[in-house]
Amino acid sequence: ELAAGMLALETAPDTWPAGVRDLLGRAIQRADGNPRLLTDLVTDLIQTGALTRGESGWKAIRQPGAVPLPATIQAAVRAKLDRLKEAGRKALRGAAIAGRLFSPDLVNALEGPVAAGQGLDELALAGIVSPRSDAMTFRQDLLREVAYDSLLVRDRRELHAKAAAYLMLRDLGMASSQVALHLAAAEDWAGAAPMLWTLSQQALTTSQRGSAEKWLLMTLQALGHAPAARGRGTHPHHRA
């Protein structure tokens, strides 16, 4: 309602223009219930021209993924993260790769037992993560976003590949959304493509059309990146 009120829109998001709905949805996700932060994020969308108003109403000029956090918010979050000790920083690296909701076991596989124990305890005390059943979650999506963006691209790829290998070993090589996403993030396109294809077909058989379209689009993107796949045809199961 706050975001809608700022732009004089109807309160129901499904009445907003598609691009506007995507941008505001991302801002709402980042704010995670913090009204002051949401106000800052929506204001930034307007000031940077990501949202513009014309005669027919509000229009999105950029995709959500192309809109960075405002510099002031990034600086504030980084200052909080920079106060962590070594174990906490290692735990943060592993958790940022693992996802918003993550298993301590995966952090252990990526960064070792000290990070998964003492490090996660430090993150919890700092208000960065909190326990949820047998998993843990970032208290705010933007905390993970800033932590993830601070990693070198090379380190991200290596950690995603390590996460995929751990999950495949744990799940006996079964296709899963987590493994597929980690492989794609590691830019292991030949490995990701068949798993993404399998997920698209599984979604189709259970009438999950939206999910099927998402996985199929990701399959095509992976095939477009994989030279071996391109050279051997378009079917994802033609692996080198």
pTM: 0.77
Beta bridge partners of 205: none
The alpha carbon of 88 is separated from its chain's Cα centroid by a whole number of angstroms, namely 21
**C-alpha closest to that of 102 among 154, 157, 147:** 147
Other beta carbons within 10 Å of 33: 8
Tokens 């990693």 map to which residue? 151
Distance CA 57, CA 40 (A): 21
Residue 148 token pair? 């993830």
Average predicted confidence (pLDDT) for the chain: 87
Whether residue 231 has pLDDT greater than 50: no
Output DSSP code: residue 69: P
Output DSSP code: residue 216: H
- What does the pLDDT look like over 119-135, one tens digit per residue? 999 999 999 999 998 89
- CB contact set of 45 (below 8 Å; sequence gap of 6+): 23, 24, 27, 51, 67
- What does the pLDDT look like over 65-121, one tens digit per residue? 777 788 888 888 999 999 999 999 999 999 999 999 999 999 999 999 999 999 999
Contact 106, 59 (CB under 8 A): no
DSSP of 88-131: HHHHHHHHHHH-SEE-HHHHHHHH-HHIIIIIHHHHHHTTSEEE
Contact 58, 73 (CB under 8 A): no
